[in-house]
Structure 1
Amino acid sequence: MTVDDDALLAHALVTDAAALAARMRREPGLEINRKTSVSDVVTAADHAAEDLVVRRLVEAHPDDAILGEEGASHTGTTGRRWVIDPVDGTYNFASGSDYWCSALALLDGDDLVLGAVAHHGSGTVVVGGPELPTTVNGTPVDLLDAAADLSHLSAATYLHPAGVQRDEIREPFLRAAARPATIRMLGSGSMDLVGVATGRLGCWFQHTTPEWDWYPGAAIVQGAGGVARQVVAHGVTWSVAGPAEAVGELARSLEGAGS
């Protein structure tokens, strides 16, 4: 099995998961439940899309491990692990917005192999990884400019209102948010990271990012020549991605260096 074979499988899985979720959203009476807050929701489409991906992964790679946002867990023996976000941006999805996607990542041990993201609204599927040049519907993206000036870039991020009350989150966030040209808060980490890889957004940073919100997009950014790294500031882990120099400046700002 090669990385190209894995990429083809990931492409098909996220495409079908997104199509299933979109079809269920069009049907009346979609079940929506609250998880941890009014903005953290899950729908029947999340569960159905995750079940689809898990079933087909187990058929194709029964010895690989699986982790899904909605509770899927499969113990593997190969050292490889698939991480699933069946609907990333569920609040957007449930609200009728098209800023959501289905996302999938593959790791081999601690090494990120690839990420795949399907945006059903535009019919685009983005696949890439550290050793796999990022493509949009099979067409390679332009490589990111490593020396891009952060002060000229947008930065996508997310900060829940509860985070504003915590000094260890608020202060690093404010330091980092003061550096880019503008801030965008759009509600889907994988969609944001695809935006970074394709040039629609400049860079990205977020605290306490779950694996399923980080790995698919991080792989895609790396496949576009960008950097994806995590830093710890005041005991909180921040995920940062984008052009190399911009990521370095954001990381230093989060850590308080030079502030």
Structure 2
Amino acid sequence: MNVTPDDVTLATELVVEAAALAARIRAEDDLQTRSKTSVSDIVTAADYAAEARIVEHLDRERPEDGLLGEEGTSREGTSGRRWVIDPVDGTYNFASGFDYWCSAIALADGDRPLLGAVAHHATGTVVVGGPGVPTTINGRPVSPIEDAAVSQLGVATYAHPAFIVDHPGFAAWRRAAALPATIRMLGSGSMDLVGVATGRLGCWFQHSTPDWDWLPGTALVLGAGGVTERVEVDGLVWSVAGPPTGVGQIVDALQGDAA
């Protein structure tokens, strides 16, 4: 299943417009924030408005494609393709006034990413790419991801306090988190994966990652020459992205093998 130049243009326009809309709503102090699963898992009026804007465009431009959005959009398509939408990724950062957030979208064939686009409004940065579309940042090709051992890399991840305290899967996380040169917990999966694709971060790993947090950034990493892998350990599905050696070592550590 191919990605067309029109798909690339559309994905770029969608995330830029969604991010601009979300930023405008935040500037107008009209977020209307509420919690979902925890104090740090929140949704705002900007999330809903940005998703609705994207869906409105896709209904008109790609009516045959399926849709899946973090804030409730779900539609089966007839083309075999689907658009996966995260209107504001890093909502806790967004609502707190931090700028480590983005709007993200992926075009996928089932669970296989074809294209990803991520807009970081604060810097005017748009990163677009996929397995058949070399990743670019504001239209410029990114440098290919170089292979490296995880011990030489900065790695982004996340561990919720409740996960650290009493979840049996924390042992796997601890094994993997002990390997890198340093770890970062920054609060936006798509922004972290942009960091991997553009060389600011070495690897990324996280458990229980929904498609809207995984597919946009995965496409960018693949388009930059990196690899991605998913593995189940102790009932949790872990998602890992980065250079081949680093990803392999993280997967081994999660599974309890020697790194």
Q: Shorter-chain TM-score: what band?
A: over 0.9
1:8 lines up with 2:16 in the alignment = no
Q: Which residue of 2 aligns with 1:97?
A: 98
The DSSP-based 3-state class of the residue aligned with 1:232 is strand
Task: Give a deviation string over 1:43-100, Cα, whole Å, max 9, x none.
Answer: 0000000000001011001111000000011221111010000000000000000000
Q: Which residue of 1 aligns with 2:127?
A: 126
| Distance in 1 of aligned mates of 2:11 and 2:173 | 33
Q: Which residue of 2 aligns with 1:239?
A: 239
TM-score scaled to structure 2, two decimals? 0.97
5 Å-filtered alignment, 1:131-170, equals 131-146=132-147, 148-170=148-170
Task: Give a deviation string over 1:116-158, Cα, whole Å, max 9, x none.
Answer: 0000000000001111100001000000112x12111000001
Deviation at 1:164, TM superposition (A): 1.3
Q: Which residue of 2 aligns with 1:188?
A: 188
Comparing 127-136 with 107-116, which one deviates more in the overlay? 107-116
For the aligned residue pairs, the C-alpha RMSD in angstroms reads 1.1
Q: Indicate conservation of the 8 Å contact 2:106/2:117, yes or no.
A: yes
Q: Indicate conservation of the 8 Å contact 1:134/1:224, yes or no.
A: yes
Q: Indicate conservation of the 8 Å contact 1:50/1:68, yes or no.
A: yes
Deviation at 1:2, TM superposition (A): 4.2
Q: Which residue of 2 aligns with 1:31?
A: 32
Q: Indicate conservation of the 8 Å contact 2:3/2:114, yes or no.
A: no
Task: Give a deviation string over 1:11-38, Cα, whole Å, max 9, x none.
Answer: 0000000000000000024211111100
| Distance in 1 of aligned mates of 2:112 and 2:47 | 27
Q: Which residue of 2 aligns with 1:225?
A: 225
Deviation at 1:257, TM superposition (A): 1.0
| Distance in 1 of aligned mates of 2:152 and 2:164 | 26
Q: Indicate conservation of the 8 Å contact 1:131/1:223, yes or no.
A: yes
The DSSP-based 3-state class of the residue aligned with 1:205 is strand
| Distance in 1 of aligned mates of 2:230 and 2:77 | 26
Q: Which residue of 1 aligns with 2:114?
A: 113
Q: Indicate conservation of the 8 Å contact 1:168/1:236, yes or no.
A: no
| Distance in 2 of aligned mates of 1:28 and 1:167 | 37
| Distance in 2 of aligned mates of 1:31 and 1:245 | 44
1:58 lines up with 2:59 in the alignment = yes
Letter in 1 for 2:152: H
Q: Indicate conservation of the 8 Å contact 1:69/1:84, yes or no.
A: yes
Deviation at 1:112, TM superposition (A): 1.4
| Distance in 2 of aligned mates of 1:110 and 1:123 | 29
| % identical equivalent positions | 62
Q: Indicate conservation of the 8 Å contact 2:206/2:240, yes or no.
A: yes
Task: Give a deviation string over 1:154-190, Cα, whole Å, max 9, x none.
Answer: 0000111111134432100000001100010000000
| Distance in 1 of aligned mates of 2:140 and 2:108 | 23
After the TM superposition, which segments of 4 or more aligned residues of structure 1 sit over 4 Å from their partners? none
Q: How many pairs were matched up?
A: 258
Segments of structure 2 that go 5 or more residues without pairing to the other structure are none
Q: Which residue of 1 aligns with 2:177?
A: 177
The DSSP-based 3-state class of the residue aligned with 2:34 is strand
Segments of structure 1 that go 5 or more residues without pairing to the other structure are none
